[in-house]
Structure 1
Amino acid sequence: MKWLSISIIILLLAGCSTSNKVERVEQPNSIIKYKKDTVEPTRFANLYPGKKTYPETCTEHCYQPSALVKCETPAENCQYIGEQVAMNLNTGFTFRWLGHASFYIESPDGNTLLIDPVSGQFDWPVNWAFRLSEGFNRKQGFWPSENEMTNIDAVLYSHIHYDHFNKDDIASIGPVAKYYVPLGFAEHFPNDGYSINEMTWFSSKVLGNLTINFVPAHHFSSRVWVPYIYEDNDTTLWGGWVLEHQGRRIFFAGDTGYSQHFKDIQQRYGDMDVCLMPIASYFNEENGDWYRYVHTTPEDALIAAQQLNCKVMIPWGYGNSSWKMGDHSSHSALLRLLNMHKKLGSNISLYILNEGETVAF
């Protein structure tokens, strides 16, 4: 009788769980690249591995103060105060920067999308272990309202690193939205009725009049389960996104180093109207070469934007709610961007957001 009761409870609990719907999106022109020495499980690789050369590198006076950036202390706790006017590109898209890599986007048809939404810093148990240590604690970023969260149509994740994907946030977003993620990502979701599209590079899905394209980035994937114990290690793919709507194109780079893939994306899809580009986390005194290998410097981002023929570039990765991974301070990357934009004579139009601000193009 006891075992019968236990069996009934197990069956009831199982009945409360709703299986996720996972679709692998792979098309004739898609690309997947694996590591040559891979062993089970299969591990992914970048399109253009190997030693890199960079067109431009700032070597001195990189972080000059700017009258356009008002800070409480040098390059720390800052606000951009420069006057700027949004270009009328007639894309119909609206962008709100939530902080670090997170964006809330509204399409011309009213579809609402979240890209790399992360409200906190880590999920359990890493958040618990990290708070017990002397590690850096990120300031809370901006988060959509409760009403906005209940009406999200699509959520896009670029890769599984904590500053781009937090498992705790999935529950708050819920299974009503459609999820677009890299290959191997679905196993990180709870089994609770989520609709998940696992994408290969250069694959696409349609949401109303919006085409969602997953594109390459030059990065990697890994995830700390508990301090110093890692899971994944390149078994989940990484990348960026191109959103297309009636001939208009929005590009989100994801975390990436500089490589040939930017030119490949432009050749595949054409010129970009708005580019959301990372400019931070490229510096580390002990592992400087590695950090830049997988993160663009501000000058790398400007050159990549040029190769994408971006009409407007919105930078991200710096800021008061950033992770400051290897950066000198919260806004050092922005100061370097403003400095290099002028030094290079770049014709890329910059639109600088403070966290929580919105702009329409």
Structure 2
Amino acid sequence: MKLHTLCLLITSSFLAACSANTVNVIAGQDSITPIHKSGEREGRYHNLYAGDKTYPVTCEADCYPQHPNVICETTAENCTFNAEQLKPRLNLGFNIRWLGHAGFMIQTPNGQHVVFDPVKEQFDSPVDLAFKLASGFYRQPGDWLTRSELKNLDAVMYSHIHYDHFNKSDIEEIGNQPRYLAPLGMADNFPNAGLNISEMAWYAKTKIDDLTIHALPAHHFSSRVLVPFIYEDNDKDLWNGWLLEQNGSTLFFAGDTGYSKHFSDIQQKYGDIDVCLMPIASYYSEDNPKWYRYVHTTPEDALKAAHELNCKVMIPWGYGNSSWKMGDRSSHSALLRLLHMHETMKSPVPLYILNEGESIKF
């Protein structure tokens, strides 16, 4: 290769990597921007239903019994769910693959390809190395997108900026072909790589061809700093759930969230939900159990929320061999608690359990 050609290629690659992103904000007459208008929290976002919480159901004892379908190398660690499962006869056309933790690859009924919260490795550098040195724990990578899937992505949707849901190095691999959808305020966290980013208020909507995408409330918080758990930038960016709607069928991704009235609000606005992707982990901490549950659903909270949403099937996430085990006892303790409480509560919501990398079509 001639030198001047090589130089042109290097220059073009550098310019592409550093080109400015295109950012637009989507809101509407019926959307909500939950921001403090005055006081010391002025300009910061807040939850719709703040304040002390009461929870309908709480497992008090023997919450993690072994389950014959959860096969583990040690107690609740390095496990596989192994069972014949009855699949609800929904005939929706959604093909769902769990990448691990909160990541999902979705093929819609009419063939669009979208992904929720893709995170390939543990954290962005330098937090990645700092966490490993401080804790001695290093997350095993989950499933990931094939080269063909990366090439054909239509949209990438992020629920919030926490490291286990948003990794800048993955965006470099995903590239600038798909459209990026994010909560309000989040765009300035993306690398400058010529990306098409839409920030969306709660209850705002947008379209990709005939796929309607709704940004929905969640009950959480946001922060993204070099030193974990020092929150100088706390809540400067919003946090979302997402709803896909096509051919009259719906798929809901709750994002990280605690239990609150926003679940019943969503059902009242959009009707019963067909497929619900619900978080069941990161709810436990010996140091601050009340706060952890405030911003993360326990398995029983997730079941109650799915019932309020009238989900026709619930797929849980947050546990697993590629999970961060943040706030949880082990990789699969949350799944054991979910299976136990599903029976204890006599929940009417059907469950479908995936291992990382597995797919199901409804």
The bucket for the TM-score relative to the shorter chain is over 0.9
| Partner SS for 1:225 | coil
Is the contact between residue 201 and residue 215 of structure 1 (CA under 8 Å) also seen in structure 2? yes
Per the normalisation by structure 1, the TM-score is 0.94
Shift of 1:57: 0.3
Question: Identity of counterpart residues, as a percentage?
Answer: 58
Q: What is the rounded CA distance, in whole Å, between the counterparts of 2:264 and 2:277 in structure 1?
A: 16
Residues 302 and 185 of structure 1, relative CA distance in 2, 3 Å threshold: same
C-alpha contact 1:221 1:238 (8 A) present in aligned 2: yes
* Secondary structure, counterpart of 2:226 in structure 1: strand
Report the CA distance between 1:32 and its aligned residue: 1.2
The aligned residue for residue 185 of structure 1 is 186
Give the aligned partner of residue 283 of structure 2.
Answer: 282
2:98 match: 97
**Cα distance in 1, alignment partners of residues 16 and 117 from structure 2:** 31
User: 1:6 — aligned with what?
Assistant: none
CA–CA distance in structure 2, aligned partners of residues 300 and 15 of structure 1 = 45
Kindly report which structure 2 residues correspond to 1:196-345, keeping only aligned pairs within 5 A, or say none.
196-227=197-228, 229-230=230-231, 232-345=233-346
Matched-pair contact (CA < 8 Å) for 1:93–1:106? yes
- Counterpart of 1:280 in structure 2: which amino acid? A
Name stretches of at least 5 consecutive residues in structure 1 with no aligned partner. 1-9
Describe the shift of the 1:341–1:15 C-alpha distance in structure 2 as closer, same or farther (beyond 3 A): closer
AA in 2 matched with 1:318: Y
For 2:7, the equivalent position in structure 1 comes to none
Code of the residue aligned with 2:164 in structure 1: it is: D
Q: 1:222 to 1:38 in 2, by over 3 A?
A: farther
Runs of 4+ in 1 over 6 A off after TM superposition: 12-16
1:38 Cα deviation after fit: 4.7
Give the Cα–Cα distance (whole angstroms) in 1 for the partners of residues 221 and 236 of structure 2: 9
- Alignment correspondent of 1:170: 171
CA contact (8 A) 1:225 1:231 kept: no
Distance across 2 between alignment mates of 1:285 and 1:24: 40
How much has 1:224 moved relative to structure 2?
2.6
> Aligned to 2:225, what secondary structure does the other structure show?
strand
Aligned to 2:6: none
Provide Cα deviations, 1:128-183, integer angstroms capped at 9, x if missing partner: 32233334211111101112111111000000001110111111000110001000
Q: TM-score, normalised by structure 2?
A: 0.93
Report how far residue 68 of structure 1 moved.
Answer: 1.0
- Equivalent residues of 2:16, 2:193 under 8 A apart: no
Per-residue CA deviations over 1:89-109 (Å, capped at 9, x if unaligned) read 121110000000000000111
The number of aligned residues is 351
Question: Matched residues in 2 for 1:334 and 1:316: separation?
Answer: 9
2-side partners of 1:296 and 1:17: how far apart? 39
Is residue 112–residue 151 contact of structure 1 (8 Å, CA) maintained in 2? yes
Q: RMSD value over aligned CA atoms?
A: 1.8
* CA distances 1:71-91 after superposition (whole Å, capped 9, x unpaired): 000111100012113222121
Distance 1:23 1:319, change over 3 A: same
Q: Amino acid of the residue matched to residue 288 of structure 1?
A: P
Separation of aligned partners in 1, 2:310 and 2:349: 8
Q: Distance in 2 between matches of 1:164 and 1:16?
A: 22
- Cα distance in 1 for residues equivalent to 2:96 and 2:16: 40
- 1:5 aligned residue: none
For residues 16 and 302 of structure 2, the distance between their equivalents in structure 1, rounded to whole angstroms, comes to 49
| Residue ranges of structure 2 left out of the alignment (5+ in a row) | 1-10
- Whether 1:59 and 2:68 are equivalent positions in the alignment is no
Number of the residue aligned with 1:152:
153
